[in-house]
C-alpha cells in the first residue's frame, strides 16, 4: 500500500486513497484494490460503498511495521504520503536509486522505510533500515558509504555531483541516511531527530 501511495486517506480500513475510480486500502493482513470502469461521482460513490462493506467484513486489525513509527514526524517536515515501507532493493531503487547491487542487504528480514522531508529545493530523503544484528548494520553502512559516497573515499558524508548532501549514520542495529539534502546542516538535523527516536528503542 505505502509503495504506491499518493493521496490523502479517505477513512476506509487502516489507510486508504482514491483517485481515477480506483480505491486502495489496507486492513489487517489484506491489501484491497477496488476499481470502477469509469470515473465521476457515481463511480466513486459505488467504489467507496463497496470499500466500506469490505473493510467491515475484515475483522482483524493490522500493526504497521515497527520501523515506520521510528521516523521523525511533521514537526521535522515529513510529507505524510511519501512514507514507503520496503522489503526489496528493486523497490527502493524505483523510488531512490542507490546501486545496481543490493549493497544495503534489504530483504524480508530487514525493515526499511523511505520518506521525504520538505519540498522542492528543501527536499531530503530519509532512509532508515533495521537489521537483525549490529554487525549486519555495520557491514551495510560500510557498503553504502563505499558505493554511494565513493567520491569521498568511503567517508560517512559527502556532497554529490548534483550539489546535494548525503550523510550516513549507524546506531546499534539501525542504519539511517539523509540523502539529497540541500546542505550538510539539513542532513545532520534530520539524522539528529531520527536518533532521538531510536534512543527510545530497547
pTM for the model stands at: 0.87
At residue 101, the pLDDT reads 92
DSSP codes joined into one string, the chain: -TTT--S---SSTTSEEEETTEEEEEETTEEEEEE-SS-SHHHHHHHHHHHHHHHHH--------GGGGGS--GGGTB-GGG-EEES-HHHHHHHS---SS-TT--STTSEEEEEEES-GGG-EEEEEEE-SSHHHHHHHHHHHHHHHSGGGTS-SEEE-TTS-EEEEEEETTEEEEEEEESSHHHHHHHHHHHHHHHTT--
Return the pLDDT at 31.
Answer: 96
pLDDT per position as a tens digit, 120-157: 988 999 999 999 999 999 999 999 998 888 777 668 99
The pLDDT value recorded for residue 144 is 93
Looking at residue 202, what is its pLDDT? 57
Amino acid at each position: 500500500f505505502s509503495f504506491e501511495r499518493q493521496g490523502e486517506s479517505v477513512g476506509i480500513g487502516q489507510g486508504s486513497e482514491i483517485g481515477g475510480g480506483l480505491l486502495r486500502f489496507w486492513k489487517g493482513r489484506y491489501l484491497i484494490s477496488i476499481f470502477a470502469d469509469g470515473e465521476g461521482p457515481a463511480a466513486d460513490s459505488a467504489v467507496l460503498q463497496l470499500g466500506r462493506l469490505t473493510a467491515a467484513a475484515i475483522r482483524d486489525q493490522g500493526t504497521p511495521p515497527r520501523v515506520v513509527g521510528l521516523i521523525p514526524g511533521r514537526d521535522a517536515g515529513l510529507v505524510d504520503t511519501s512514507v514507503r515501507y520496503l522489503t526489496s532493493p528493486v523497490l527502493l531503487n524505483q523510488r531512490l536509486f542507490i546501486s545496481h547491487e543490493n549493497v544495503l542487504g534489504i530483504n524480508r528480514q530487514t525493515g526499511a522505510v523511505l520518506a521525504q522531508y520538505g519540498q522542492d529545493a528543501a527536499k531530503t530523503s530519509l532512509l532508515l533500515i533495521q537489521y537483525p544484528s549490529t554487525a549486519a548494520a555495520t557491514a551495510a553502512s560500510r557498503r553504502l558509504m563505499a558505493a554511494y559516497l565513493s567520491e569521498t573515499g568511503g567517508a560517512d558524508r559527502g556532497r554529490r555531483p548534483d550539489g546535494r548532501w548525503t550523510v550516513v549514520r549507524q546506531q546499534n542495529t539501525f542504519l539511517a541516511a539523509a540523502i539529497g539534502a540541500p546542505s550538510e546542516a539539513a542532513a545532520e538535523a534530520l539524522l539528529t531527530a531520527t536518533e532521538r527516536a531510536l534512543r527510545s528503542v530497547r
